[in-house]
Structure 1
Amino acid sequence: MATEAVVAMTTTEPQKKNRIQVSNTKKPLFFYVNLAKRYIQQHNEVELSALGMAITTVVTIAEILKNNGLATEKKVLTSTVGMKDENKGRFIQKAKIEIVLGKSEKFDSLMTASAAAAPPATDSDAAAKDKE
């Protein structure tokens, strides 16, 4: 019965504005990396969250941001969550991870440098692609 309470708590929990719930099937890895950069820019930190097999994706995203000097690790939480298995109709325990990353001191200068290095796409770029 305790697992039912955990499920109820996690499903009624309000969505935080700086939380990214990562799935390893819905979006490519760099979609989440770029989204995390935007959240760090707007909120000074981002919370990456995942269940089960998506945990490795969250760890990879966090490592990319840290290794590029954009973020610092603030907190890592691991737990298990009880949920109903869609296929078998019974309650199962799934691993959960939450990683909170903060804005690094070099974040703004690195983001400015990367924006300057990649000039924005122009209409002529799009027309050239259409001809290919």
Structure 2
Amino acid sequence: MEAIVTNEMKNAKINGEVEKVTKIFRIQVSKTKKPLFFYLNLAKKHIKMGNDVELCALGLAIPTIIVIAEILKNNGWAIEKSIMTSTIEAKEDKEGRGAPKAKLDILLGSAKSVDQSTGSARE
């Protein structure tokens, strides 16, 4: 599946002991390949399993990941851990020049208030 590119592992050390291994799933969102709700449901599925999700987008797909992240946060499914912005060189055109493109990465983690059995937020 083109949505999940990497599966990274992170160890959290507290007082010298390894606590829990957290998986980070990177989802590269496209403006044209799949609809917004495909990426939203994919991210929600991995967040419900207790994994972190990194949403990545280039150029015109950036508003899509912002909408996905806001839906997940407003419904109490995820919390925002970090936002990273950068500029990359896109593919070269016919004259051999590369065009800069904006890149946005949003790292989301599972909200502690999520009820794992129903998927609804506790108040």
Structure 2 unmatched ranges of 5 or more: 8-24
In the alignment, is residue 60 of structure 1 matched against residue 67 of structure 2?
yes
> Distance in 2 between the 1:87 and 1:62 partners?
36
Aligned length: 99
Structure 1 unmatched ranges of 5 or more: 1-14, 115-132
> Distance in 2 between the 1:29 and 1:97 partners?
16
Local SS of the residue matching 1:106: coil
Q: Which of 93, 101, 118 is 1:112 aligned to?
A: 118
Native 8 Å contact 1:70 1:110 kept in 2: no
Equivalent AA in structure 2 for residue 92 of structure 1: A
Q: Judging changes above 3 Å, is the alpha-carbon distance between structure 1 residues 79 and 68 closer, same or farther for their aligned structure 2 residues?
A: same
TM-score (norm 2): 0.72
Q: Judging changes above 3 Å, is the alpha-carbon distance between structure 1 residues 64 and 91 closer, same or farther for their aligned structure 2 residues?
A: same
CA RMSD of aligned residues (A): 1.9
In the alignment, is residue 41 of structure 1 matched against residue 31 of structure 2?
no
Report Cα offsets for 1:68-93 as digits up to 9, x if no partner: 00000000000000122456642110
More strand by share: 2
Q: Judging changes above 3 Å, is the alpha-carbon distance between structure 1 residues 87 and 99 closer, same or farther for their aligned structure 2 residues?
A: farther
When Rg is computed on C-alpha atoms for both structures, the one with the higher figure is 1
How far the C-alpha of 1:105 sits from its partner, in A, is 1.1
Moved segments of 4+, more than 6 Å: none
More helix by share: 1
